[in-house]
Amino acid sequence: MALGGVDLNLLVVLQALLEEGNVTRAGARVGMPQPAMSNALARLRRHYGDELLLRSGNAYTLTPLARSLLPSARESMRLVGSAFSPVDVTRPPNGNRIFRISLSDYLIALLGGSLMRRVREVAPEVRVRLRSTAEDGAAGDKALSRSDLLIGPAGALGLRAGGEQEVISRDRLVYLTDPANSRLRHGRLTTGDLAALPHAAARLTDTDPGAATAALQRLGITPNVVLTTAGWLPLPFLLAGTDLIAAVPERLARRVAAAAGVTIIEPPFGTTEITETAWWHPMRATDPALTWLRTILRQTALAEGELPSEPQGRPRRLA
C-alpha cells in the first residue's frame, strides 16, 4: 500500500530498524531476509536523504535524524494498530507499560502516593515513574516530548510549541511564618509587614516571578527575597526560628505546618489562585493507555479533594 508515493510497508521496517539499531535483528523481527531488509533500508535512506544507521565497528549507531524519527514511527504504528483494533480506553493497558510523569514536588507530596497505590490496585503490571520538575529542570517543549504527562503551575513550564492540557488541581496561596514572628498581630500580617519582612520563595522558573511576588508587585511592593528554593516543598521547613515568611499552596501548608513548627497566615491582598495543569504531546492525544492514565489521575485527585469543583469539560489544545 502506498500513500503520497511512499510504501507504507516501510513504516514497519523503519520502526524495527530504529528500535533494534541492527539490520539483521530488525529483519528477523519483521520476518524479512537480510537482502530484502538491506534493500528496504536503502529505500528509506533515499527517502530521507540520510544514512539513518551508521556502521560503527561491528555495530550500528542511529543518526540524529533517525533518533528524532523514532517517537513518530512508534506513534504512527500505534495509530495504525488502533484503527484496525479499537481499544477500550477505560481498560488498563496490556503488558508492562511504563508511564513517565514530570510534576511539581508539591503535587508529588499531595497525590503521588495515592496515584501509585491506585495504579497498583487496578493494573499491577503498569509502572509509573514520577519525576520532579523542580529537581531535574524538566520544562519546555523538550520535556513535553520525553514525558507522558508534564504537570505544573499554568504558565510556569515554558511551553511554546503547544500541546493538549487538562486542569488537575486548583489551590490558593497562604503565608507561613514562625508563630513568634514579631510582626504578627492576632495571627495577621499587613501588606506593610510583607514589604518589611524577609521572604523565602519558590523559584519555579527563571522567568516566572511566582504568583505571590506578582500579587505584591501589583500593589507596588517588591518583596525582599533572601532565600529561594527550586520547589514549594522545602519552604515550610526553613522558617521556624526566623523572621522569614513564605507563600505556599494552602493544601501543602495545612499538611505540613504542624510538623514544620509554623503558622498559617491569610494573605492581606486577597485570594491568589494557583492551578496545576497536565500537558501531553499532541502525538499522544489519541493514545488509549494515556487516556486511561489521565482518568486514573483525575479520580485520584477527586478522592484527595484536589479537583476543581466546576466541570472541566473536554481538554483543550494550546495554541
Indicate the fold that domain 2-84 takes in CATH: Arc Repressor Mutant, subunit A (1.10.10)
Give the per-residue pLDDT at 307. Answer: 40
Structural element, H or E, at residue 201: strand 198-202
Give the per-residue pLDDT at 257. Answer: 95
Give the per-residue pLDDT at 103. Answer: 87
Give the per-residue pLDDT at 314. Answer: 38
The answer to whether 229 and 238 are in contact (CB under 8 A) is yes
Quickly count: other Cβ atoms within 10 Å of residue 90's Cβ. Answer: 9
State in words which class domain 170-274 has.
alpha beta
Residue 81 half-sphere exposure, CB side, CA atoms within 13 Å? 11
The answer to whether 6 and 47 are in contact (CB under 8 A) is yes
Q: Report, as ranges of residue numbers, the positions in the chain whose pLDDT lies below 70.
A: 1-6, 78-90, 134-143, 145, 154-163, 204-209, 305-319
The answer to whether 105 and 132 are in contact (CB under 8 A) is yes
Q: Give the strand pairing for 273-280 and 164-177.
A: antiparallel
DSSP 8-state secondary structure symbol assigned to residue 110:
I
pLDDT digit string, tens, across residues 74-121: 777 766 666 655 555 567 787 778 899 988 888 898 899 999 999 999
Report percent pLDDT > 90 for the chain. Answer: 33
State in words which class domain 98-162+282-317 has.
alpha beta
Q: From CA 156, how far away is CA 172, in angstroms rounded?
A: 16
Same fold, 2-84 and 170-274: no
Ordered by start, the domain boundaries in the chain are 2-84, 98-162+282-317, 170-274
Give the per-residue pLDDT at 154. Answer: 59
Give the angle subtended at the CA of 314 by the CAs of 313 and 319, to the nearest 5°: 125
Amino acid, res. 45: R
Residue 315 neighbours by CB under 8 Å, 6+ apart: 164, 165, 166
pTM, two decimals, is 0.64
Give the per-residue pLDDT at 318. Answer: 36
